[in-house]
Structure 1
Amino acid sequence: MIINKILNVDDYYYDVFMAISESLTGFSVNELQSTGLAEIYYQYILSQIETATFIEFLNVSKNVLESSENKEQLKNAIKAEIISNPATQGIAQSVITLWYLGTWEGAYVNDRSYKEGLVWTVMHAHPPGAKQPGFKSWETKPVNSNS
């Protein structure tokens, strides 16, 4: 797969981070960027773990992304080379948690990370106390409602 240049961030590894985030979360790069937290998350991870450790994770990710020719190969390569590898497994799990819950090691990254967590999109819900669903939203049946 080709890793496309994303936005105007000069750091090549940012593009790899976004591409592997897309594969780990199942959300497109555009959807991840629409949270407004992509660059913040990238910088946050760099401040939380050793740069060499994060770069190693991104290099492994880059190799997986570039060597996979289709989604099935990519899925299998991520499972074999990232998720099953003790050196990269923890970071991959933390990246997934970061995008879905907005937390890193149990703490929210900032006040927006809770509101923009992907978990709310998956649940077809809104974060209680943070983003209200809108006037008269109660009169619309929930998505996938059986009633």
Structure 2
Amino acid sequence: MIINKKILNVDDYYYAVFVTISESLTGFTLNELQSTGLAEIYYRYILDHIEAATFTEFLNVSKDIIENSLTQEQLTHAISAEILSKPSTLGIAQSVITLWYLGTWEGAYVNDLSYKEGLVWNVMHAHPPGAKQPGFKSWSVKPVNSNS
């Protein structure tokens, strides 16, 4: 696999690793993650809220996994074996997944946008109540996967 180096406005190499591993951990593409407007904010937020050495270790393990995986299947297996099965990286991986899906870090929202752009809303085919309305006359369209 290739580490995404086409990242907007950020020179930090580890940022590219962060976004690339986020793709695999969340199941969303680079474009989908970037379209939230939160990738750089999340990266910097994590740097400010955990020990740099701990985050760097997670990113180095991620970098090695990405660079040594030739297929998506190998990458998925390596993430399971090298990140999700080791206590030193499991907690950070879970926090990164939660951050992308819910917009929270240790139970608190990162900012107002993190609630609105949480990936959970895409998965549910919904919108964040009180923050991002579905649009005019949206009530007249059946919900996705509606049985009625």
CA separation in 1, counterparts of 2:73 and 2:61?
A: 18
Between the aligned partners of 1:43 and 1:8, the Cα distance in structure 2 is 13
Give the % identical residues: 81
What is the total number of aligned residue pairs between the two structures? 147
Is the CA contact 2:65–2:79 (under 8 Å) kept in the aligned structure 1? yes
> Matched residues in 1 for 2:55 and 2:4: separation?
20
Deviation, 1:18, is: 0.2
Q: How far apart in 2 are the matches of 1:139 and 1:24?
A: 35
Unmatched runs of 5 consecutive residues or more in structure 1: none
Question: 2:12 maps to what in 1?
Answer: 11
What one-letter code is carried by the residue in structure 2 that aligns with 1:3?
Answer: I
TM-score by length of 1: 0.98
- Structure 1 residue aligned with 2:90: 89
Q: Which runs of 4+ in 1 moved over 6 A?
A: none
1:1-147 alignment, distance < 5 Å: 1-5=1-5, 6-147=7-148
Matching residue's letter, 1:126: H
| 1:141 to partner: Cα distance | 0.3
Return the offset for 1:2.
Answer: 1.1
TM norm structure 2: 0.98
Deviation at 1:4, TM superposition (A): 2.5
Q: C-alpha distance in 2, partners of 1:22/1:128?
A: 26
Q: Cα offset for 1:8? A: 2.8
Amino acid corresponding to residue 146 of structure 1 in structure 2: N
Q: Secondary structure at the match of 1:83?
A: coil
Q: Deviations over 1:48-104 (max 9, x none)?
A: 001111000000000011111111111110000000011000000000000000000
